[in-house]
Chain A
Protein backbone atom coordinates (compact mmCIF):
# COMPACT_ATOMS: atom_id res chain seq x y z
CA UNK A 1 0.00 0.00 0.00
CA UNK A 2 2.74 2.38 1.01
CA UNK A 3 4.80 1.72 -2.03
CA UNK A 4 1.73 2.15 -4.25
CA UNK A 5 0.94 5.56 -2.75
CA UNK A 6 4.52 6.67 -3.15
CA UNK A 7 4.43 5.51 -6.72
CA UNK A 8 1.26 7.55 -7.53
CA UNK A 9 2.65 10.76 -6.13
CA UNK A 10 5.85 10.48 -8.02
CA UNK A 11 3.94 9.75 -11.21
CA UNK A 12 1.77 12.83 -10.80
CA UNK A 13 4.78 14.98 -10.06
CA UNK A 14 6.49 13.58 -13.10
CA UNK A 15 3.50 14.28 -15.33
CA UNK A 16 3.14 17.87 -14.16
CA UNK A 17 6.82 18.45 -14.73
CA UNK A 18 6.68 16.84 -18.16
CA UNK A 19 3.71 18.92 -19.27
CA UNK A 20 5.23 22.22 -18.19
CA UNK A 21 8.53 21.27 -19.78
CA UNK A 22 6.79 20.34 -23.02
CA UNK A 23 4.86 23.62 -23.10
CA UNK A 24 7.95 25.71 -22.47
CA UNK A 25 10.02 23.68 -24.89
CA UNK A 26 7.36 23.87 -27.57
CA UNK A 27 7.08 27.60 -27.18
CA UNK A 28 10.85 27.93 -27.27
CA UNK A 29 11.07 25.89 -30.42
CA UNK A 30 8.29 27.75 -32.22
CA UNK A 31 9.68 31.12 -31.21
CA UNK A 32 13.10 29.96 -32.27
CA UNK A 33 11.78 28.81 -35.62
CA UNK A 34 10.57 32.31 -36.40
CA UNK A 35 14.21 33.31 -36.52
CA UNK A 36 14.32 35.68 -33.61
CA UNK A 37 16.89 36.11 -30.96
CA UNK A 38 15.36 34.68 -27.82
CA UNK A 39 17.44 36.62 -25.38
CA UNK A 40 16.94 39.86 -27.27
CA UNK A 41 14.24 40.95 -24.88
CA UNK A 42 12.88 38.92 -22.05
CA UNK A 43 9.73 41.04 -21.97
CA UNK A 44 8.99 40.42 -25.63
CA UNK A 45 9.52 36.73 -25.04
CA UNK A 46 7.18 36.71 -22.07
CA UNK A 47 4.51 38.56 -24.05
CA UNK A 48 4.84 36.26 -27.01
CA UNK A 49 4.67 33.27 -24.67
CA UNK A 50 1.43 34.53 -23.14
CA UNK A 51 -0.01 35.15 -26.59
CA UNK A 52 0.10 31.42 -27.27
CA UNK A 53 -2.47 30.72 -24.58
CA UNK A 54 -5.17 33.23 -25.38
CA UNK A 55 -8.68 32.22 -26.32
CA UNK A 56 -10.72 32.56 -29.49
CA UNK A 57 -11.74 36.19 -29.94
CA UNK A 58 -15.43 35.48 -29.49
CA UNK A 59 -14.84 33.58 -26.24
CA UNK A 60 -12.76 36.31 -24.65
CA UNK A 61 -14.38 38.64 -22.19
CA UNK A 62 -13.76 42.38 -22.13
CA UNK A 63 -10.78 42.10 -19.78
CA UNK A 64 -9.09 39.34 -21.75
CA UNK A 65 -9.49 41.35 -24.93
CA UNK A 66 -7.93 44.36 -23.28
CA UNK A 67 -5.03 42.24 -22.09
CA UNK A 68 -4.25 40.74 -25.47
CA UNK A 69 -4.55 44.14 -27.14
CA UNK A 70 -2.11 45.68 -24.68
CA UNK A 71 0.25 42.74 -25.24
CA UNK A 72 0.10 43.18 -29.01
CA UNK A 73 0.64 46.92 -28.75
CA UNK A 74 3.60 46.40 -26.43
CA UNK A 75 5.06 43.75 -28.75
CA UNK A 76 4.82 46.06 -31.72
CA UNK A 77 6.56 48.76 -29.73
CA UNK A 78 9.28 46.36 -28.57
CA UNK A 79 9.99 44.66 -31.86
CA UNK A 80 9.41 47.28 -34.53
CA UNK A 81 9.41 50.45 -32.49
CA UNK A 82 5.96 51.43 -33.77
CA UNK A 83 3.20 52.69 -31.52
CA UNK A 84 0.01 51.14 -32.81
CA UNK A 85 -3.52 51.59 -31.53
CA UNK A 86 -5.47 48.34 -31.71
CA UNK A 87 -9.14 48.58 -30.85
CA UNK A 88 -11.82 45.98 -30.38
CA UNK A 89 -14.89 48.08 -31.17
CA UNK A 90 -17.95 45.88 -31.46
CA UNK A 91 -20.69 46.12 -34.07
CA UNK A 92 -22.89 49.22 -34.01
CA UNK A 93 -26.57 48.92 -33.15
CA UNK A 94 -29.02 48.62 -36.02
CA UNK A 95 -26.36 48.59 -38.72
CA UNK A 96 -25.93 46.19 -41.63
CA UNK A 97 -23.23 47.20 -44.06
CA UNK A 98 -23.90 47.11 -47.77
CA UNK A 99 -21.82 47.99 -50.78
CA UNK A 100 -22.63 48.95 -54.35
CA UNK A 101 -20.31 49.26 -57.31
CA UNK A 102 -21.16 51.33 -60.37
CA UNK A 103 -19.78 49.50 -63.41
CA UNK A 104 -20.60 52.46 -65.66
CA UNK A 105 -18.61 54.94 -63.59
CA UNK A 106 -15.48 52.93 -62.81
CA UNK A 107 -12.62 53.96 -65.11
CA UNK A 108 -10.02 51.47 -63.88
CA UNK A 109 -7.63 53.94 -62.26
CA UNK A 110 -6.91 51.42 -59.46
CA UNK A 111 -6.78 54.13 -56.80
CA UNK A 112 -8.95 51.93 -54.57
CA UNK A 113 -6.48 49.04 -54.78
CA UNK A 114 -3.57 51.23 -53.76
CA UNK A 115 -5.54 52.76 -50.89
CA UNK A 116 -6.64 49.33 -49.67
CA UNK A 117 -3.07 47.98 -49.66
CA UNK A 118 -1.93 50.97 -47.67
CA UNK A 119 -4.84 51.03 -45.20
CA UNK A 120 -4.89 47.32 -44.44
CA UNK A 121 -1.12 46.83 -44.09
CA UNK A 122 -0.96 44.28 -46.90
CA UNK A 123 2.22 42.46 -47.79
CA UNK A 124 4.23 44.48 -50.29
CA UNK A 125 6.59 41.66 -51.22
CA UNK A 126 4.02 39.27 -52.65
CA UNK A 127 1.95 42.27 -53.85
CA UNK A 128 -1.16 41.06 -52.07
CA UNK A 129 -4.36 42.91 -52.93
CA UNK A 130 -7.89 42.39 -51.61
CA UNK A 131 -9.49 44.17 -54.56
CA UNK A 132 -9.15 43.12 -58.15
CA UNK A 133 -10.32 45.27 -61.04
CA UNK A 134 -11.20 43.44 -64.23
CA UNK A 135 -11.13 45.13 -67.59
CA UNK A 136 -14.02 43.75 -69.58
CA UNK A 137 -15.29 44.24 -73.08
CA UNK A 138 -18.80 45.51 -73.56
CA UNK A 139 -21.16 42.58 -73.46
CA UNK A 140 -19.10 40.44 -71.12
CA UNK A 141 -20.83 39.59 -67.89
CA UNK A 142 -18.54 37.52 -65.70
CA UNK A 143 -15.16 38.75 -64.44
CA UNK A 144 -13.47 35.48 -65.34
CA UNK A 145 -13.75 36.58 -68.97
CA UNK A 146 -12.12 39.91 -68.16
CA UNK A 147 -8.50 40.96 -67.95
CA UNK A 148 -7.40 41.28 -64.32
CA UNK A 149 -3.80 42.27 -64.98
CA UNK A 150 -4.08 45.19 -67.40
CA UNK A 151 -1.56 47.99 -67.23
CA UNK A 152 -2.05 50.65 -69.87
CA UNK A 153 -3.74 54.01 -70.22
CA UNK A 154 -7.27 53.84 -68.87
CA UNK A 155 -10.16 54.03 -69.60
CA UNK A 156 -9.81 52.06 -72.82
CA UNK A 157 -12.34 52.49 -75.60
CA UNK A 158 -15.06 49.83 -75.66
CA UNK A 159 -14.28 48.49 -72.21
CA UNK A 160 -15.73 48.72 -68.75
CA UNK A 161 -14.24 47.93 -65.36
CA UNK A 162 -15.55 45.67 -62.65
CA UNK A 163 -14.14 45.50 -59.14
CA UNK A 164 -14.22 42.28 -57.15
CA UNK A 165 -13.44 41.82 -53.48
CA UNK A 166 -14.93 39.97 -50.51
CA UNK A 167 -18.69 40.31 -50.87
CA UNK A 168 -19.47 39.67 -47.19
CA UNK A 169 -22.14 37.11 -47.98
CA UNK A 170 -25.02 36.81 -45.56
CA UNK A 171 -24.84 33.06 -46.04
CA UNK A 172 -21.06 32.71 -46.28
CA UNK A 173 -19.71 29.41 -47.59
CA UNK A 174 -16.24 30.18 -46.21
CA UNK A 175 -17.59 30.20 -42.66
CA UNK A 176 -19.13 26.78 -43.13
CA UNK A 177 -15.87 25.41 -44.49
CA UNK A 178 -13.66 26.58 -41.62
CA UNK A 179 -12.69 23.64 -39.39
CA UNK A 180 -11.54 25.81 -36.46
CA UNK A 181 -14.33 28.42 -36.46
CA UNK A 182 -11.68 31.05 -37.05
CA UNK A 183 -13.97 32.97 -39.39
CA UNK A 184 -17.51 34.12 -38.76
CA UNK A 185 -20.14 36.68 -39.68
CA UNK A 186 -20.38 39.58 -37.27
CA UNK A 187 -23.86 40.97 -36.38
CA UNK A 188 -23.26 43.99 -38.63
CA UNK A 189 -22.73 41.69 -41.59
CA UNK A 190 -18.93 41.79 -41.84
CA UNK A 191 -17.25 38.42 -42.27
CA UNK A 192 -14.06 38.46 -40.20
CA UNK A 193 -11.11 36.20 -39.42
CA UNK A 194 -9.44 35.61 -36.06
CA UNK A 195 -5.88 35.55 -37.34
CA UNK A 196 -4.57 33.74 -34.26
CA UNK A 197 -7.12 31.00 -34.56
CA UNK A 198 -6.60 30.34 -38.27
CA UNK A 199 -4.52 27.29 -39.03
CA UNK A 200 -3.99 28.15 -42.68
CA UNK A 201 -5.72 25.13 -44.18
CA UNK A 202 -7.21 27.31 -46.97
CA UNK A 203 -10.54 25.44 -46.98
CA UNK A 204 -12.30 28.81 -46.95
CA UNK A 205 -10.33 29.90 -50.00
CA UNK A 206 -11.56 26.82 -51.84
CA UNK A 207 -15.12 27.35 -50.61
CA UNK A 208 -15.35 30.99 -51.71
CA UNK A 209 -16.91 31.24 -55.17
CA UNK A 210 -15.67 34.83 -55.63
CA UNK A 211 -11.94 34.51 -54.90
CA UNK A 212 -12.42 36.82 -51.95
CA UNK A 213 -9.77 35.39 -49.64
CA UNK A 214 -6.01 35.66 -49.65
CA UNK A 215 -3.30 33.47 -48.14
CA UNK A 216 -0.12 34.75 -46.56
CA UNK A 217 2.68 32.87 -48.24
CA UNK A 218 5.34 34.78 -46.38
CA UNK A 219 5.72 37.05 -43.38
CA UNK A 220 4.11 40.32 -44.51
CA UNK A 221 6.68 42.98 -45.26
CA UNK A 222 5.61 46.59 -44.96
CA UNK A 223 7.88 49.65 -44.96
CA UNK A 224 7.92 50.97 -41.41
CA UNK A 225 6.74 54.46 -42.28
CA UNK A 226 3.79 53.13 -44.31
CA UNK A 227 2.18 51.10 -41.52
CA UNK A 228 -1.34 52.23 -40.66
CA UNK A 229 -1.32 52.72 -36.90
CA UNK A 230 -5.07 52.82 -36.31
CA UNK A 231 -5.79 49.12 -36.21
CA UNK A 232 -8.52 46.69 -35.28
CA UNK A 233 -8.09 43.24 -33.77
CA UNK A 234 -10.16 41.70 -36.56
CA UNK A 235 -8.91 44.08 -39.21
CA UNK A 236 -5.57 45.44 -40.27
CA UNK A 237 -3.37 44.44 -37.33
CA UNK A 238 -0.10 42.66 -37.97
CA UNK A 239 -0.54 39.22 -39.49
CA UNK A 240 1.83 36.29 -39.69
CA UNK A 241 2.82 33.86 -42.37
CA UNK A 242 0.49 30.96 -43.14
CA UNK A 243 -2.96 32.30 -42.40
CA UNK A 244 -5.91 33.64 -44.35
CA UNK A 245 -6.96 37.22 -44.57
CA UNK A 246 -9.49 39.20 -46.55
CA UNK A 247 -11.35 42.45 -47.00
CA UNK A 248 -13.12 43.43 -43.77
CA UNK A 249 -14.95 46.50 -45.14
CA UNK A 250 -12.12 48.33 -43.30
CA UNK A 251 -13.59 47.30 -39.96
CA UNK A 252 -11.30 49.74 -38.14
CA UNK A 253 -12.85 52.60 -40.12
CA UNK A 254 -16.45 51.53 -40.75
CA UNK A 255 -17.19 50.84 -37.09
CA UNK A 256 -16.07 54.38 -36.30
CA UNK A 257 -18.56 55.74 -38.81
CA UNK A 258 -16.02 56.28 -41.55
CA UNK A 259 -16.13 55.16 -45.17
CA UNK A 260 -13.87 52.32 -46.22
CA UNK A 261 -10.50 53.21 -47.72
CA UNK A 262 -11.54 52.15 -51.23
CA UNK A 263 -14.66 54.32 -51.20
CA UNK A 264 -12.73 57.30 -49.94
CA UNK A 265 -10.01 56.85 -52.55
CA UNK A 266 -12.30 56.30 -55.55
CA UNK A 267 -11.85 59.33 -57.84
CA UNK A 268 -15.02 58.66 -59.86
CA UNK A 269 -17.55 57.92 -57.12
CA UNK A 270 -18.21 54.45 -58.48
CA UNK A 271 -18.29 52.96 -54.99
CA UNK A 272 -21.18 53.38 -52.57
CA UNK A 273 -21.02 52.19 -48.97
CA UNK A 274 -23.60 52.52 -46.24
CA UNK A 275 -26.09 51.12 -43.81
CA UNK A 276 -28.69 48.84 -45.39
CA UNK A 277 -31.07 49.30 -42.47
CA UNK A 278 -31.20 53.07 -42.87
CA UNK A 279 -33.98 53.85 -45.38
CA UNK A 280 -32.39 57.21 -46.23
CA UNK A 281 -28.90 55.91 -46.94
CA UNK A 282 -27.25 56.09 -50.36
CA UNK A 283 -26.99 52.34 -50.62
CA UNK A 284 -30.74 52.02 -50.17
CA UNK A 285 -31.32 54.68 -52.84
CA UNK A 286 -29.17 52.69 -55.23
CA UNK A 287 -30.94 49.44 -54.47
CA UNK A 288 -34.36 51.00 -54.87
CA UNK A 289 -33.77 53.24 -57.89
CA UNK A 290 -31.06 51.61 -59.99
CA UNK A 291 -30.69 48.45 -61.99
CA UNK A 292 -28.70 46.23 -59.67
CA UNK A 293 -27.33 42.73 -59.88
CA UNK A 294 -25.16 40.49 -57.78
CA UNK A 295 -22.46 38.11 -58.87
CA UNK A 296 -23.38 34.42 -58.95
CA UNK A 297 -26.64 35.10 -57.16
CA UNK A 298 -27.89 31.60 -57.98
CA UNK A 299 -25.44 30.07 -55.50
CA UNK A 300 -27.53 31.37 -52.62
CA UNK A 301 -24.58 33.00 -50.86
CA UNK A 302 -26.58 36.22 -50.57
CA UNK A 303 -23.70 38.70 -50.96
CA UNK A 304 -24.06 42.25 -49.62
CA UNK A 305 -22.30 43.66 -52.68
CA UNK A 306 -24.35 44.89 -55.62
CA UNK A 307 -23.30 46.04 -59.05
CA UNK A 308 -25.33 48.73 -60.71
CA UNK A 309 -25.47 50.64 -63.95
CA UNK A 310 -26.45 54.24 -64.61
Chain B
Protein backbone atom coordinates (compact mmCIF):
# COMPACT_ATOMS: atom_id res chain seq x y z
CA UNK B 1 0.00 0.00 0.00
CA UNK B 2 2.78 2.29 0.93
CA UNK B 3 4.70 1.41 -2.21
CA UNK B 4 1.68 2.22 -4.39
CA UNK B 5 1.17 5.60 -2.81
CA UNK B 6 4.83 6.29 -3.24
CA UNK B 7 4.63 5.52 -6.94
CA UNK B 8 1.60 7.72 -7.24
CA UNK B 9 3.46 10.52 -5.55
CA UNK B 10 6.29 10.16 -8.02
CA UNK B 11 3.90 10.23 -10.92
CA UNK B 12 2.41 13.40 -9.59
CA UNK B 13 5.77 15.07 -9.26
CA UNK B 14 6.71 13.98 -12.80
CA UNK B 15 3.45 15.35 -14.16
CA UNK B 16 4.02 18.59 -12.33
CA UNK B 17 7.56 18.89 -13.69
CA UNK B 18 6.54 18.33 -17.30
CA UNK B 19 3.70 20.75 -16.82
CA UNK B 20 6.15 23.35 -15.61
CA UNK B 21 8.52 22.65 -18.54
CA UNK B 22 5.66 22.97 -21.00
CA UNK B 23 4.83 26.31 -19.52
CA UNK B 24 8.39 27.40 -19.89
CA UNK B 25 8.63 26.26 -23.53
CA UNK B 26 5.51 28.11 -24.54
CA UNK B 27 7.05 31.20 -23.08
CA UNK B 28 10.20 30.96 -25.24
CA UNK B 29 11.14 33.63 -27.79
CA UNK B 30 12.24 32.78 -31.39
CA UNK B 31 16.04 33.20 -31.14
CA UNK B 32 16.06 30.84 -28.16
CA UNK B 33 14.45 28.07 -30.29
CA UNK B 34 17.19 28.49 -32.90
CA UNK B 35 19.81 28.11 -30.20
CA UNK B 36 18.30 24.78 -29.17
CA UNK B 37 18.22 23.50 -32.77
CA UNK B 38 21.90 24.23 -33.53
CA UNK B 39 23.28 21.00 -32.05
CA UNK B 40 20.59 19.00 -33.89
CA UNK B 41 21.53 20.63 -37.19
CA UNK B 42 25.21 20.05 -36.57
CA UNK B 43 24.76 16.40 -35.70
CA UNK B 44 22.62 15.96 -38.84
CA UNK B 45 25.41 17.40 -41.00
CA UNK B 46 28.06 15.21 -39.38
CA UNK B 47 25.88 12.12 -39.83
CA UNK B 48 25.34 13.05 -43.47
CA UNK B 49 29.08 13.39 -43.99
CA UNK B 50 29.62 9.98 -42.41
CA UNK B 51 27.07 8.36 -44.70
CA UNK B 52 28.56 10.13 -47.71
CA UNK B 53 32.07 8.94 -46.90
CA UNK B 54 30.83 5.38 -46.39
CA UNK B 55 29.02 5.41 -49.69
CA UNK B 56 31.94 6.96 -51.53
CA UNK B 57 34.31 4.28 -50.25
CA UNK B 58 31.82 1.55 -51.06
CA UNK B 59 31.39 2.70 -54.68
CA UNK B 60 34.88 3.99 -55.40
CA UNK B 61 37.42 2.29 -57.65
CA UNK B 62 39.89 1.89 -54.80
CA UNK B 63 38.51 -1.41 -53.62
CA UNK B 64 41.25 -3.95 -54.11
CA UNK B 65 42.45 -6.02 -57.00
CA UNK B 66 40.27 -9.02 -56.24
CA UNK B 67 37.03 -7.09 -56.61
CA UNK B 68 38.42 -5.24 -59.60
CA UNK B 69 39.15 -8.37 -61.60
CA UNK B 70 36.00 -10.15 -60.46
CA UNK B 71 33.98 -7.31 -61.96
CA UNK B 72 35.71 -7.70 -65.32
CA UNK B 73 33.61 -10.37 -67.01
CA UNK B 74 33.34 -8.97 -70.50
CA UNK B 75 35.00 -11.17 -73.11
CA UNK B 76 37.91 -9.69 -75.00
CA UNK B 77 38.65 -10.19 -78.64
CA UNK B 78 41.86 -12.22 -78.63
CA UNK B 79 43.05 -11.43 -82.09
CA UNK B 80 42.04 -7.78 -81.62
CA UNK B 81 44.43 -7.43 -78.68
CA UNK B 82 47.34 -7.75 -81.05
CA UNK B 83 49.21 -4.52 -81.56
CA UNK B 84 51.76 -3.82 -84.24
CA UNK B 85 54.57 -5.76 -82.63
CA UNK B 86 52.70 -8.89 -81.69
CA UNK B 87 52.64 -11.45 -84.42
CA UNK B 88 51.43 -14.98 -84.10
CA UNK B 89 54.49 -17.26 -84.04
CA UNK B 90 54.90 -19.54 -87.02
CA UNK B 91 54.89 -23.33 -87.02
CA UNK B 92 51.85 -23.78 -84.81
CA UNK B 93 48.79 -26.02 -84.88
CA UNK B 94 45.30 -25.42 -83.59
CA UNK B 95 44.57 -27.47 -80.48
CA UNK B 96 41.65 -29.86 -80.85
CA UNK B 97 40.38 -29.02 -77.36
CA UNK B 98 38.98 -25.62 -76.46
CA UNK B 99 39.95 -23.47 -73.51
CA UNK B 100 37.86 -20.92 -71.59
CA UNK B 101 38.20 -18.39 -74.42
CA UNK B 102 37.58 -20.67 -77.38
CA UNK B 103 40.24 -22.02 -79.70
CA UNK B 104 43.97 -21.76 -79.03
CA UNK B 105 47.20 -22.88 -80.63
CA UNK B 106 50.24 -24.91 -79.71
CA UNK B 107 53.69 -25.48 -81.10
CA UNK B 108 54.02 -28.02 -83.90
CA UNK B 109 56.49 -30.72 -82.91
CA UNK B 110 57.06 -32.85 -86.00
CA UNK B 111 59.67 -30.48 -87.40
CA UNK B 112 61.61 -30.81 -84.15
CA UNK B 113 61.95 -34.58 -84.30
CA UNK B 114 65.46 -35.17 -85.61
CA UNK B 115 64.85 -38.26 -87.74
CA UNK B 116 61.27 -37.75 -88.84
CA UNK B 117 59.73 -39.45 -90.92
CA UNK B 118 60.14 -42.68 -89.02
CA UNK B 119 58.69 -44.58 -91.96
CA UNK B 120 61.76 -43.80 -94.04
CA UNK B 121 63.50 -46.60 -92.08
CA UNK B 122 60.54 -48.43 -90.55
CA UNK B 123 58.89 -49.51 -93.78
CA UNK B 124 57.64 -52.80 -95.13
CA UNK B 125 61.12 -54.30 -95.30
CA UNK B 126 62.32 -56.21 -92.30
CA UNK B 127 65.21 -54.67 -90.42
CA UNK B 128 67.81 -57.40 -90.65
CA UNK B 129 70.64 -55.86 -88.63
CA UNK B 130 71.21 -57.41 -85.23
CA UNK B 131 70.76 -55.00 -82.36
CA UNK B 132 69.48 -52.28 -84.69
CA UNK B 133 67.53 -50.58 -81.92
CA UNK B 134 70.67 -50.18 -79.84
CA UNK B 135 72.59 -48.86 -82.82
CA UNK B 136 70.12 -46.25 -84.01
CA UNK B 137 68.24 -45.33 -80.83
CA UNK B 138 70.92 -45.83 -78.18
CA UNK B 139 70.52 -42.21 -76.99
CA UNK B 140 66.95 -42.86 -75.86
CA UNK B 141 66.57 -43.92 -72.22
CA UNK B 142 63.01 -44.57 -71.18
CA UNK B 143 62.50 -43.34 -67.60
CA UNK B 144 58.75 -43.03 -67.71
CA UNK B 145 55.97 -44.80 -65.88
CA UNK B 146 57.79 -45.81 -62.71
CA UNK B 147 59.28 -49.14 -61.68
CA UNK B 148 55.98 -50.95 -61.38
CA UNK B 149 54.64 -50.10 -64.80
CA UNK B 150 57.56 -49.05 -67.02
CA UNK B 151 56.57 -47.94 -70.50
CA UNK B 152 57.97 -49.55 -73.61
CA UNK B 153 58.31 -48.05 -77.09
CA UNK B 154 55.03 -49.52 -78.27
CA UNK B 155 53.03 -48.08 -75.38
CA UNK B 156 53.02 -44.79 -77.29
CA UNK B 157 54.47 -45.44 -80.75
CA UNK B 158 52.21 -47.12 -83.26
CA UNK B 159 53.47 -50.42 -84.64
CA UNK B 160 51.28 -50.23 -87.75
CA UNK B 161 51.85 -46.66 -88.84
CA UNK B 162 55.30 -45.68 -87.67
CA UNK B 163 54.84 -41.92 -88.17
CA UNK B 164 52.06 -41.80 -85.59
CA UNK B 165 51.48 -42.39 -81.93
CA UNK B 166 48.75 -44.63 -80.66
CA UNK B 167 46.52 -44.41 -77.61
CA UNK B 168 45.37 -47.25 -75.41
CA UNK B 169 42.21 -47.38 -77.52
CA UNK B 170 44.21 -47.74 -80.75
CA UNK B 171 43.49 -44.22 -81.94
CA UNK B 172 46.23 -42.76 -84.11
CA UNK B 173 47.62 -39.47 -82.90
CA UNK B 174 49.73 -37.03 -84.83
CA UNK B 175 52.97 -36.06 -82.99
CA UNK B 176 51.85 -32.40 -83.27
CA UNK B 177 48.89 -33.22 -81.04
CA UNK B 178 50.98 -35.09 -78.49
CA UNK B 179 49.00 -33.50 -75.63
CA UNK B 180 46.24 -36.00 -76.38
CA UNK B 181 48.73 -38.77 -75.79
CA UNK B 182 50.05 -37.41 -72.49
CA UNK B 183 46.57 -36.46 -71.34
CA UNK B 184 45.52 -40.12 -71.13
CA UNK B 185 47.39 -40.54 -67.84
CA UNK B 186 48.24 -36.94 -66.94
CA UNK B 187 44.67 -35.69 -67.25
CA UNK B 188 45.04 -33.23 -64.38
CA UNK B 189 48.05 -31.64 -66.04
CA UNK B 190 46.19 -31.54 -69.33
CA UNK B 191 43.28 -29.75 -67.72
CA UNK B 192 45.67 -27.21 -66.22
CA UNK B 193 47.51 -26.91 -69.52
CA UNK B 194 44.30 -26.10 -71.38
CA UNK B 195 43.37 -23.50 -68.78
CA UNK B 196 46.83 -22.00 -68.43
CA UNK B 197 48.08 -23.11 -65.00
CA UNK B 198 50.50 -25.68 -66.47
CA UNK B 199 52.92 -24.91 -69.26
CA UNK B 200 53.43 -21.47 -70.70
CA UNK B 201 52.65 -19.15 -73.56
CA UNK B 202 55.15 -18.30 -76.25
CA UNK B 203 56.58 -14.75 -76.26
CA UNK B 204 53.25 -12.89 -76.02
CA UNK B 205 50.70 -12.54 -73.25
CA UNK B 206 48.36 -10.78 -75.68
CA UNK B 207 46.96 -11.68 -79.03
CA UNK B 208 46.09 -15.22 -80.12
CA UNK B 209 46.89 -17.70 -77.41
CA UNK B 210 49.85 -19.85 -78.43
CA UNK B 211 51.19 -22.22 -75.78
CA UNK B 212 54.07 -24.63 -75.65
CA UNK B 213 53.33 -28.26 -76.34
CA UNK B 214 54.06 -31.02 -73.80
CA UNK B 215 57.19 -32.14 -75.60
CA UNK B 216 58.49 -28.57 -75.95
CA UNK B 217 59.62 -28.78 -72.33
CA UNK B 218 59.43 -32.45 -71.36
CA UNK B 219 61.46 -35.14 -73.01
CA UNK B 220 58.73 -37.77 -73.55
CA UNK B 221 61.16 -40.60 -72.87
CA UNK B 222 62.24 -39.22 -69.48
CA UNK B 223 59.82 -36.42 -68.68
CA UNK B 224 61.16 -35.48 -65.26
CA UNK B 225 63.36 -32.35 -65.28
CA UNK B 226 66.98 -33.22 -64.62
CA UNK B 227 68.89 -32.22 -61.53
CA UNK B 228 71.43 -29.56 -62.44
CA UNK B 229 73.32 -26.51 -61.26
CA UNK B 230 71.41 -23.23 -61.07
CA UNK B 231 72.18 -20.72 -63.78
CA UNK B 232 73.39 -18.06 -61.35
CA UNK B 233 73.45 -17.29 -57.64
CA UNK B 234 72.38 -14.47 -55.34
CA UNK B 235 74.71 -12.52 -53.10
CA UNK B 236 73.85 -12.60 -49.39
CA UNK B 237 71.61 -9.79 -48.22
CA UNK B 238 73.35 -9.27 -44.89
Contact = CB atoms under 8 A, between A and B. Distances in A.
Interface of A: 92, 94, 96, 98, 102, 105, 107-111, 113-114, 117, 126-127, 129, 132-133, 148-155, 170-171, 189, 211, 254, 256-259, 263-264, 266-269, 271-287, 289-290, 302, 304, 308, 310
Interface residues of B, number: 48
A271 B75 CA distance: 24
Interface in B12-49: none
Contact of B232 (A114, A148, A272, A273): A114
A285 B217 contact: no
B52 interface: no
Contact of A149 (B78, B102, B228, B234): B234
A276 B236 contact: no
Given A149-B236, A153-B228, A274-B205, A286 B197 contact: yes
B68 A276 contact: yes
A285 B196 contact: yes
Nearest to B74: A279
Contact of A304 (B65, B72, B86, B229): B65
Contacts of A110: 230-233
A57 to B, nearest CB: 22
Given A114-B232, A268-B217, A263 B99 contact: no
Q: Nearest 6 CB-CB pairs, A to B?
A: A282-B196, A280-B101, A257-B206, A257-B86, A285-B195, A110-B230
Contacts, number: 161
B227 interface: yes
A287 to B, nearest CB: 7
A267 B200 CA distance: 9
Given A258-B85, A290-B197, A302-B64, 9 more contacts: A114-B231, A150-B230, A154-B227, A155-B227, A170-B64, A269-B200, A274-B205, A275-B76, A279-B101
B210 to A, nearest CB: 11
Contacts of B83: 92, 256-257
Interface of B: 62, 64-65, 68-69, 72-76, 78, 81-83, 85-86, 99-102, 188, 192, 195-201, 203-207, 212, 217, 225, 227-237
If over half of A's interface residues share one DSSP class (helix, strand or loop), that class is named, otherwise mixed; here it is loop
A267 B217 contact: yes
Given A257-B206, A275-B205, A98 B69 contact: yes
Nearest to A269: B200
14 contacts: A98-B69, A113-B231, A117-B232, A126-B235, A151-B229, A153-B228, A154-B227, A257-B86, A258-B204, A266-B200, A267-B225, A275-B76, A277-B68, A310-B198
B154 to A, nearest CB: 29
B201 A280 contact: no
Contact of B225 (A268, A278, A285, A310): A268
Given A94-B76, A282-B195, A275 B234 contact: no
Contacts of B200: 259, 263, 266, 269, 271-272
B19 to A, nearest CB: 58
A107 B78 CA distance: 32
A304 B68 CA distance: 11
B205 A154 contact: no
Contacts of A152: 229
Contacts of B207: 257
Contacts of B81: 257, 278
